[in-house]
Amino acid sequence: MRSVLTGTGAARGMALGRARLEHPSRYLVDDSPLAEHEIEDELERLRRAIALARDELRTLREKLHGSLEREVAEFIDAHSLMLADRELTNGLFELIRVGRYRASAALKTQRDRLVAVFEAMDDPYLRSRKEDVEHVLGRVQASLARESSVEERRLAARVGEILVSDTVAPSELVPLAERGVLGVVLSSGSQVSHSAILARSLHLPMIVAAHDALSHIQDDDLILIDGEHGEIVVHPTAQDLARLRAWQRETSQKSKRLALLRNAETRTKDGVAISLHANAESPADVAQARVLGASGVGLYRTEFLFLQRKEIPSEDEQFLAYRDLVLGMGGLPVTIRTLDLGADKADASGLVMDDEENPALGVRGVRLSLRHPQLLVSQLRAILRASGYGPIRVLVPMVSTVEEVLSVRALLQECARDLRTAGYEIADHTELGAMIEVPAAAIALGGMIQSLDFVSIGTNDLVQYTLAVDRNNDHLAHLYDPLHPAVLKLLAQTIATARRAKRRVMLCGEMAGDRRYTALLLALGLTDFSMHPGLLLEVRETINALDRERLRAHAPALLRASTRARIEGVLERLSSDD
Ligand code: PEP
Ligand code: MG
């Protein structure tokens, strides 16, 4: 019964819940033909599964109340009718009796046939009915495969749901979290996808690249997920639940230990002050950042504001969001990044081009903003208006040329002039910085740095573009390597170029919050980190135990190392020295 599936941990935390399969793209199907003597049993299994699916629909209908009752009830009734439809069920029984299909294979075959019929219809309404077929047959399929014990069903009734799907868009995650989903398991995806970043921000445990999830987990199975280690236990035992309780105890002990570091200084053993900023996506992140003593907000991804809704937020709406962010940080600096839509951050407002062959290399970030100057202007105006309430810096994503920086700066100055003329009180000077996440910007930073007030290294994309490895493609996860010698060279070069020009250099990619890389980044000369606030205290704890001078002395060895293994060797020596 109990089985363990693995994936990649993408957002920490454990959750126990009932699996809720969404858009399962595959059915678990046994294709081997039935033997003569198995036919009757198989027919009986299918009858029981259909009856169970009907019962479930009836229970669902009884539970309906509120404004959606009528609308939803119509769907449920239609589905119940389909299950009672002789044509449909006889077709299934026929496949078992005559074709010697197993019940699951019969359901799949019937589904494929019916879907093909509906898809061929001209009428869009009728065409859309194929979804009903999928739902109804999917429900029977799930009933057929359900193997939960009475005890398990009792437990499952008391716990919430864990979404199991092939993918989930960043824009779908917020409503899911609001609906109370306890965790997410995806059969594809990666740790540095925007969905994963958002899940961390929402404190929603997430596992990605769990390739077997959809074929092994059934709707309603009780599952226990561990978002740190990427482990899914299907039908957990008492021992597994004891592990969950142990984790809960450990987490509370760890947070008590780390709580002592709230508002503590971040300073290496040899006395160098390090700034830890927060990547804040929500008001909860902002509150957490303040409580934990962040030096400011190092990255506010404005696209999340756009992804949660259908229309483009107006200048006023944006202003209110940015103003609240600045006020929430109580005078600490806030870095607001202009829109980085495109690639996997497609919006519902239709700005993002959907016919690009290679969206990661397409109209994304500043390229999209400069194609829609009105949009950029309204965003810059909103940011500048909020600058009257506290220190704000503007950060531009996906920069690859100095001309892009100059264009944004010209618009920023024009907006500032217009606002002042119109009587708004805005900051005297608003710093403008660039994300260094395209290798060209890192390599040619020397020629760009004088046009910038600061830079912020986006390792999530810098690794993807340097190594030509799609950050969202789980099949390439082994190649997506922040410890590649080429990445290290670009990091060291970027930090050194910015420091020579006396410009602040921050790192706001996921590497900054991963304590495995803290010593490395200090060795390369980084002093400004920006990470999800939930990681701030453990990075502070790590930094406070390190000697920066000694780490700096190892930088040449790190940069000389020609392979990942050698780099790891140097890093190991670094940690064993302590
Ligand atoms: C990055 O690329 O490292 C980054 C911080 O930006 P995003 O993850 O939003 O692309
Ligand atoms: Mg990026």
181-200 pLDDT, tens digit each: 899 999 998 888 888 988 98
Protein residue with least CA distance to atom 6, ligand 1 = 458
Query: Among the listed ranges 125-134, 160-169, 232-241, 475-484, which one has the minimum average pLDDT value?
Result: 125-134
Q: Hey, whose CA ends up nearest to atom 4 of ligand 1? A: 458
pLDDT bin (cut points 50, 70, 90) of residue 173 is confident
Ligand 1 center to 337 CA (angstroms): 10
pLDDT in tens, 490-508: 999 999 999 999 999 999 9
Q: Is the pLDDT of residue 365 over 60?
A: yes
Q: Whose CA is nearest to atom 7 of ligand 1?
A: 460
Q: Is 21 in the pocket of ligand 1 (CB under 6 A)?
A: no
Nearest atom within ligand 1 for CA of residue 299: 5
Mean pLDDT over each residue of the chain, to the nearest integer: 88
Please give the Cα distance from 22 to 219 (Å, whole number): 9
Q: Is the CB of 459 under 6 A from ligand 1?
A: yes
Examine the residue annotation and report whether 508 is marked as an active-site residue of this protein: yes
| pLDDT in the model for residue 194 | 84
CA 9–ligand 2 middle distance (angstroms): 20
- Ligand 1 binding pocket includes 301 (Cβ within 6 Å): yes
Question: Could you tell me if 431 and 412 are in contact, meaning their C-beta atoms sit under 8 angstroms apart?
Answer: no
How far apart are the CA of 377 and the centre of ligand 1, in A?
22
- Considering 57-71, 113-127, 201-215, the range whose residues carry the highest mean pLDDT is 201-215
Q: What is the mean pLDDT of residues 295-300?
A: 98
475 CB contacts (<8 Å, ≥6 apart)?
Answer: none
Could you tell me if residue 271 is left (phi over 0), alpha (psi between -120 and 50 degrees) or otherwise beta?
left
The CA distance from 272 to 279, in Å, is 23
The answer to whether the CB of 437 is under 6 A from ligand 1 is: yes
Q: Which of 79, 484, 508, 554 is catalytic?
A: 508
Alpha helices in 478-554 (DSSP H): 485-500, 518-523, 536-544, 548-553
Is 344 near ligand 1, meaning CB less than 6 Å away? no
CB within 8 A of 430, min separation 6: which ones? 383, 384, 387, 392, 393, 394, 412, 416
Taking the CA of residue 510 as reference, the ligand 1 atom at the shortest distance is 3
Q: What average pLDDT does range 26-49 have in this prediction?
A: 82
Going across the sheet that includes 8-11, the strands are 3-6, 231-234, 222-226, 14-21, 161-165, 183-186, 206-208, 8-11
Residue 79 Cβ contacting ligand 1 at under 6 Å: no
